[in-house]
């Protein structure tokens, strides 16, 4: 309607102008308002004239002149185009007219046309929101996917530039929720991949294989405080109760003469300062000897006891205790070389053998003695507690022969037995933990004198004490 009105006005103006001076002011005003302007008077007039002719005559002559003019059919638009073209002398992107090297021109960004008048395409480096692009960096970038969506872990698009090695939209069996490949030890827990935890290595709660740290699962996790996983010497809490020996064979680290200790030497103990050794076979003569740590004899005693053992309630403590031949009583050394009653060991099953060495288990706080392949236990007051069968005792050479059968020591959480040159260690459950050979120490006196003192296994060889640092 506006167009028609404008056209009519123009026609009227022209007619009026042509016919005379009926209303010249109006005509001039019209021309000015249609922005033809003075500069383009001639062309404006021409086109205006043409437009009016076209409008009047119909389509016959419309193609002859500027088609755009008639198609846009606005006198105003026509004159504006002409005007601008005249000013710059080249195509203008954004004017809605496809000219020059413009592939399109939709007067700004459209779904098919970029703001720079190129055809919109994802990957052309021109961000076109009208075309649904969130971004367009020309190719995959850290912030933009190849399909012109914003890069995000979890969008299902693998964006390597953003550091993604996978993106399944969520955690899957092969992809972590941080868009990295599944790996045990990467610090990202992926339950779909069977990881219970992942602390990037063993931790207090997680094993190196990404399963929960647990005592009994077969994996020793030191970070979780586990020392072992089952087997001899390992407690139910995965702690070592009795360690393996440090070597398969030992020479003595310490040797010193028995002194005037009457035969046969049966036991030696350490009170924290000195060694004390006793002998058996008779109650008469020198039955107890005190040695300095270097083995020098400090004193000799005739306590009138036929000893079978001397021991401390914990290596390096005092007072020392002792057991005599065929006696159910435990003796205590009140003064150097003087022994008195301490406790009576209640009857046991199997019975305490006459010659058995009684010693102290300072882990379990019990008196112990070996009898028929079992370790008998009594409380400190002599109450019989029970027995622990040594599993497989007797399979070692000479283990069933006296005096191996009477000798028992306790050290480093282990029961210790000795036969034919071989020392065996047993854990609190009675499992044999380890064996080792003690050099040149398989005589009767060695087997009868097995002891643990000052952190070492001791054996007498008839003339000397031999100390072996086996742990």
Q: Name the residue nearer to Ca ion (CB basis): 145 or 424.
A: 145
Element (H, E) at 445: helix 444-448
Q: Name the residue nearer to Ca ion (CB basis): 164 or 427.
A: 164
Q: Name the residue nearer to Ca ion (CB basis): 30 or 136.
A: 136
Min CB(159)–Ca ion separation in Å: 5
Determine the longest span between alpha carbons in the chain, in angstroms.
Answer: 167
Q: Would you count residue 109 as binding Ca ion (CB under 5 A)? A: no
Nearest to 368 by CA among 426, 431, 288, 436: 426
Taking CB under 5 A as the criterion, the residue among 69, 167, 434, 461 binding Ca ion is 167
Q: Would you count residue 363 as binding Ca ion (CB under 5 A)? A: no
Nearest to 416 by CA among 471, 463, 462, 461: 471
Tell me if the bond preceding 319 is cis, omega within 30° of 0. Answer: yes
Stretch that binds Ca ion, among 74-82, 94-102, 182-190, 326-334 (CB under 5 A): 182-190
By CB under 5 A, the count of residues binding Ca ion is 16
Q: Name the residue nearer to Ca ion (CB basis): 100 or 169.
A: 169
Taking CB under 5 A as the criterion, the residue among 106, 124, 192, 469 binding Ca ion is 124
Q: Would you count residue 188 as binding Ca ion (CB under 5 A)? A: yes
Taking CB under 5 A as the criterion, the residue among 128, 377, 412, 451 binding Ca ion is 128
Distance between CA 167 and CA 147 in Å, rounded?
Answer: 15
Task: Say if CB 135 and CB 143 are below 8 A apart.
Answer: yes
Distance between CA 285 and CA 462 in Å, rounded?
Answer: 17
Min CB(405)–Ca ion separation in Å: 38
Min CB(94)–Ca ion separation in Å: 17
Q: Would you count residue 31 as binding Ca ion (CB under 5 A)? A: no
Distance between CA 263 and CA 251 in Å, rounded?
Answer: 24
SS3 category, 317: coil
Min CB(214)–Ca ion separation in Å: 5
Min CB(205)–Ca ion separation in Å: 11
Taking CB under 5 A as the criterion, the residue among 43, 219, 235, 318 binding Ca ion is 219
Q: Name the residue nearer to Ca ion (CB basis): 157 or 442.
A: 157
Q: Name the residue nearer to Ca ion (CB basis): 79 or 145.
A: 145
| 225-254: contacts with Ca ion (CB under 5 A) | 226
SS3 category, 287: coil
DSSP character string of 363-395: TTTEEEEEETTEEEEE-TTS-EEEEEE-TTTTS
Task: Please list, residue by residue across 45-60, b when 16 or more beta carbons sit within 10 angstroms of its beta carbon and e when fewer do.
Answer: eebbebbbbbbeeeee
Distance between CA 37 and CA 117 in Å, rounded?
Answer: 30
Taking CB under 5 A as the criterion, the residue among 83, 177, 178, 186 binding Ca ion is 186
Stretch that binds Ca ion, among 12-20, 26-34, 209-217, 400-408 (CB under 5 A): 209-217
**Binding residues vs Ca ion (CB under 5 A):** 124, 126, 128, 136, 155, 157, 159, 164, 167, 186, 188, 198, 217, 219, 221, 226
């Amino acid at each position: 309607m506006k167009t028609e009105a404008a056209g009519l006005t123009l026609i009227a103006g022209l007619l009026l102008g042509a016919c005379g001076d009926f209303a010249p002011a109006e005509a001039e005003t019209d021309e000015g308002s249609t922005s033809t302007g003075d500069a383009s008077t001639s062309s404006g007039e021409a086109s205006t004239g043409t437009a009016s002719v076209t409008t009047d005559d119909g389509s016959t002559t419309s193609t002859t002149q500027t088609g755009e003019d008639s198609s846009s059919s606005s006198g105003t638009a026509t004159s504006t185009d002409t005007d601008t073209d005249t000013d710059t002398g080249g195509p203008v992107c954004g004017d809605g007219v496809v000219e020059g090297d413009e592939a399109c021109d939709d007067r700004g960004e459209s779904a098919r046309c970029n703001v720079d008048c190129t055809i919109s395409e994802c990957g052309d480096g021109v961000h076109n929101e009208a075309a649904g692009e969130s971004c367009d960096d020309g190719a995959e970038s850290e912030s933009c996917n190849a399909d012109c969506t914003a890069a995000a872990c979890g969008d299902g698009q693998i964006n390597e530039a953003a550091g993604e090695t996978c993106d399944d939209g969520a955690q899957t069996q092969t992809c972590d929720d941080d868009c990295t490949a599944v790996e045990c030890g990467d610090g990202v827990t992926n339950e779909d991949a069977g990881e219970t935890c992942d602390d990037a290595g063993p931790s207090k709660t997680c094993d190196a294989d990404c399963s929960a740290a647990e005592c009994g699962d077969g994996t020793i996790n030191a970070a979780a405080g586990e020392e072992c996983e089952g087997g001899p010497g390992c407690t139910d809490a995965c702690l070592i109760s009795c360690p393996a020996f440090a070597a398969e064979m030992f020479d003595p680290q310490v040797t010193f003469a028995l002194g005037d200790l009457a035969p046969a030497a049966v036991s030696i103990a350490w009170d924290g300062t000195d060694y004390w050794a006793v002998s058996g076979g008779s109650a008469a003569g020198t039955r107890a000897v005190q040695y300095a740590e270097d083995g020098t004899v400090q004193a000799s005693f005739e306590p009138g006891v036929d000893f079978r053992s001397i021991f401390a309630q914990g290596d390096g403590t005092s007072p020392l205790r002792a057991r005599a031949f065929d006696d159910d009583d435990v003796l205590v050394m009140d003064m150097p070389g003087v022994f008195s009653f301490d406790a009576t060991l209640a009857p046991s099953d199997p019975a305490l053998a006459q010659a058995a060495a009684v010693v102290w288990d300072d882990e379990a706080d019990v008196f112990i003695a070996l009898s028929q392949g079992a370790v008998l236990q009594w409380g400190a007051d002599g109450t019989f507690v029970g027995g622990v069968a040594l599993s497989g005792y007797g399979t070692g050479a000479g283990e069933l022969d006296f005096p191996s059968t009477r000798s028992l020591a306790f050290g480093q959480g282990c029961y210790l037995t000795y036969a034919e040159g071989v020392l065996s260690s047993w854990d609190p459950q009675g499992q044999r933990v380890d064996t080792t050979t003690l050099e040149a120490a398989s005589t009767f006196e060695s087997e009868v004198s097995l002891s643990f003192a000052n952190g070492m296994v001791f054996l007498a060889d008839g003339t000397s004490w031999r100390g072996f640092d086996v742990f």
